[in-house]
Amino acid sequence: MTATRIMTQESAQAGPVTVPPFAVVSGAQVQQALRGREKQIVELVEATYRLHSAGRSVNPPSVFLRFPDRPSSRIIALPASIGGEDRVDGVKWISSFPQNVAAGIPRASAVLILNDPDTGYPFACMEASIISATRTAASAVLAADRLSRGCRRPTRVGFVGAGLIARYIHTFLVGTGWSFDAIGVHDVSAGSAAGFRCYLEQSGAPGWITVHDSPEQLIRTSDLVVFATVAGRPHVRDLSWFAHRPLVLHVSLRDLAPEIVLASTNIVDDVEHCLRAETSLHLAERLTGGRAFLTGTLEDVLAGRVTPSGHRTVVFSPFGLGVLDLAVGKYVYDQVAGSGELHVVDDFFHELRRYG
């Protein structure tokens, strides 16, 4: 592995500027670097939220590429930059094509590009569907832990949506010490629900597993409800289903009717990101003309500025920040580089002299 040094008039006094080698990190390497490290990744995500809240990150709005002839599909660009000791810039490019599931391949696919903050040169292209699922799960589990402190910890969990994200959230819950007496599953696809049940049984996780035909009974019998669907608009509208005041991880953002949002304690990961793109929170803002229904951010909870009471349903709605992808991606890169197994593309950057 070599780096190319370029001398410019501006850098002559400061020393040579280094063009980093460019590496490709496969999904297998990503998975190996993250396997069994649930606690470390949750701690990393918490630290990244704190950096973001302290203004040591740049996280502009995501850019949605939509298609008139394929309205259910989209590709999203999430650019971001992280300061601190492990500075890194970059972008995640993630697609969501729900029709893939019927064809037997995953709905989402993604790559993450990491850029060197000193030169701007990209130094890694990484498979990122695993990174995306990991940071999503770590964020949700961090919120579940902090939002359930000071009250009875949930012992009955229900998953509305039984895809990859649900599996990762369950894995992170178990990997950080959670245990459940009962696990509920609901998906509009009977095959997905059956597949998730099979995963739960094979994982050896304790808890009586029930597959529900509708979300109502699942919600009514769960203390912790995880929404991980591909819903494009609210489909859960009956406030009475939440009379027992469960903790809700609204990961998919568009499942709950605005009336349920307005009757709940609402915690988000980032206000501006969550209140856009037709999310349930965005619809609630349109309905009321304001944001008074927001209680605070997850970082407010981490810092002790906000402590939700047990008198209302608590809903955590994370948009999913690009800085989290960068933090997890940089962690993976460092692990793979440290093992000496980086796949470097020699001479990826070729025209490095202005005049040849």
- Domains within the chain, CATH numbers bracketed: 132-321 (3.40.50.720)
What's the confidence (pLDDT) of residue 21?
Answer: 95
Q: What is the pLDDT of residues 208-246, one digit of tens each?
A: 999 999 999 999 999 999 999 999 999 999 999 999 999
Residue 151 has pLDDT above 90, yes or no: no
| Span 241-260, average pLDDT | 97
Q: Tally helices (H) and strands (E) across the chain.
A: 11, 18
Contacts of 216 (CB under 8 A, 6+ apart): 238, 241
Residue 5 has pLDDT above 50, yes or no: no
Spatial CA neighbour of 279 closest among 29, 62, 87, 130: 62
Q: What is the pLDDT of residues 279-330, one digit of tens each?
A: 999 999 999 999 999 999 999 999 999 998 778 999 999 998 999 999 999 9
Contacts of 66 (CB under 8 A, 6+ apart): 73, 74
DSSP 35-79: TT-HHHHHHHHHHHHHHHHTT-EE-PPPEEEE-TT-TT-EEEEEE
| Cα dihedral: 236, 237, 240, 246 (round 10) | 40
Beta strand pairing call for 88-96 and 108-115: antiparallel
Residue 108 dihedral angles phi and psi, to the nearest 5°: -105, 145
Q: Helix (H, G, I), strand (E, B), or coil: what is residue 23?
A: strand
If phi > 0 it is left, if psi is from -120 to 50 it is alpha, else beta; for residue 336 that is: alpha
What's the confidence (pLDDT) of residue 15?
Answer: 56
| Span 134-151, average pLDDT | 95
pTM exceeding the 0.85 threshold for the entire prediction = yes
Spatial CA neighbour of 178 closest among 159, 162, 154, 149: 154
| Span 175-200, average pLDDT | 96
Residue 1 has pLDDT above 70, yes or no: no
